[in-house]
Amino acid sequence: MHMNVFDMGGTRDSGFGTRGEDHDAAASSARLAPGVRCQGAQPRNAWRFAESGVPSPGRLRGFTLMEMLAVIVLLGIVAAIVVTQVGKNVDKGKYGAGKAQLATLGVKIENYALDNGTPPRQLSDLVSKPADAPHWNGPYAKASDLIDPFGHPFGYKYPGTHGSFDLIFYGQDGQPGGDGLNADVGNWQ
């Protein structure tokens, strides 16, 4: 049992005076019982904080490991939700960029056809001069222009079924057919 010298019927610390005077007066008027410790080595009024349950100013309570882990788990859940939502928007943006790139590539093919009389036999003819194009005035496109935002090559057919050439953006999956972000878009649409 922990008892304080000041609770033994002696002079109680009034908060005025020096630490030594208050401690000496209380210790001289009371006899220490077994298990009672003298509080003289602790800062003034430290016993009041310890008994009241309020932490002393030098020993403030921090976060426990469980509290820290709970916050980390919650942050992980929020981050996962945000990443999935952002990922969906990024794919929508790539799909829109692919449709725009299809239109731009179609114009480059038409520029080639204006210079050479016919559209190119293959898309790589826009980048490097083919043997059968005497009026080639290119390059009409960069190699990166022939790849869609998802990293797949554009589909190309010459002669086309819908016009002089067919240029196709296959969507996110890079395969013919599909719905949503996998839907195909042609230059004739």
C-alpha 34/C-alpha 178 separation (Å) is: 87
Go through the domains of the chain in sequence order and give each one's CATH number.
66-186 (3.30.700.10)
What is residue 151's predicted lDDT score, i.e. its pLDDT? Answer: 93
For residue range 1-12, list pLDDT tens digits in order.
Answer: 455 444 444 444
> Which pTM does this prediction carry?
0.56
For residue range 30-39, list pLDDT tens digits in order.
Answer: 555 566 555 5
For the segment 126-149, the average pLDDT, to the nearest whole number, is: 90
Amino acid identity for residue 56 in this structure: S
Residue 167 pLDDT grade (very low, low, confident, very high; cuts 50, 70, 90)? very high
For residue range 145-164, list pLDDT tens digits in order.
Answer: 999 999 999 999 998 898 89
For residue range 59-80, list pLDDT tens digits in order.
Answer: 667 889 999 999 999 999 999 9
